[in-house]
Amino acid sequence: MDNKSGMTIIVKTITRITVPTIILYGCYIIFHGHLTPGGGFAGGVIIALALLNVMIAFGRKFTNNWLNINFLEKLESISATLFLILGILGFLISSAFLFNFINHGELFRLLSAGTIPVLNIIIGIEVAMSLFLVVWVLAGLKLDKGEEL
């Protein structure tokens, strides 16, 4: 790792410890979206912030090596497409667009509420990727104006 880019060693060490925890917490918020407060959007924002945390602490170049940005761009579009496909399945399988066609299960169980957890996961990916990429692109524009990375 290049020690010169990014912030000091203290920030980097703390980030290395906290980022997995933040991502885990984001996943928790997403997976329990149908049971507790939160859901796809809130969890997605948390995951995006964890990724941005890495970008701020370690710098753009490290993050570019660590993450496959092109893949994330595709993932963003793919998750939105999956949401639409799930909606279309609603009226192909049953009666209406976005109809909840999976068995609703038992209340307060993790695997319940039909399509809602699936939609929450898709929304989580979509929000995480798009929020991260928006900031990524904006930060890139600022760098392009001055000298290269």
Partner 1 sequence: MILPLFIIIPLLSAFLIAIVSGKKDNFANGLSIISALLLLFGAIYNFITQNQEVIIYKIGNWDAPIGINLVQDSLTIFMLIIVGLISLTSLIYSRQYIRYISTDWKYYSLFMFLITGMNGVIITGDLFNLYVFMEIALLSTYALVAYGGKAEEFEASFKYAIMGIVSSTFILVGIAITYSATSTLTLAKIAEQIPHINTKIVYLVGGIFLMGFGLKAAIIPFHTWLPDAHSSAPAPISAMLSGVMIKVLGIYAIIRIFYNIFGAPEFFLNIFMILGVISILIAGFLAITQWDMKRLLAYSSISQIGYILLGLGIGSTLGILGAVFHIFNHAIFKSLLFYNAGSVEMTTETRDLKKMGNLKKLMPVTSKTSMIASLAISGIPPFNGFFSKLIIIIAAIQSGHPILAALAVIGSIQTLAALLKVQRFGFHSENKTEVTENKTSFGMKFAMITLAFLCFAGAILIIPGIREVTLDPIVEVIKNNGEYMNMVLGR
| CB closer to partner 1 out of 1 and 84 | 84
**Amino acid at residue number 37:** P
- The count of C-alpha atoms lying within 13 angstroms of the C-alpha of 29, restricted to the half-sphere facing its C-beta, is 21
Q: Say how far apart CA 86 and CA 117 lie, in whole Å.
A: 12
| CB closer to partner 1 out of 8 and 94 | 94
SS3 content of the chain, % helix, strand, coil (to 5): 70, 0, 30
| CB closer to partner 1 out of 96 and 149 | 96
Burial of residue 21 (CB within 10 Å: 0-12, 13-18, 19+) is exposed
Residue with tokens 């090596």: 65
CB of 98: closest distance to partner 1 in angstroms? 4
| CB closer to partner 1 out of 49 and 78 | 78
Please give the span between the terminal C-alpha atoms of the chain, in angstroms, as a whole number.
Answer: 16
CB of 81: closest distance to partner 1 in angstroms? 5
| CB closer to partner 1 out of 18 and 112 | 112
CB of 76: closest distance to partner 1 in angstroms? 8
Candidates 4, 3, 6; CA nearest to 56 is 6
CB of 77: closest distance to partner 1 in angstroms? 4
> What are the residues binding partner 1 (CB under 8 A)?
73-74, 77-78, 80-81, 84, 87-88, 90-91, 94-100
CB of 85: closest distance to partner 1 in angstroms? 8
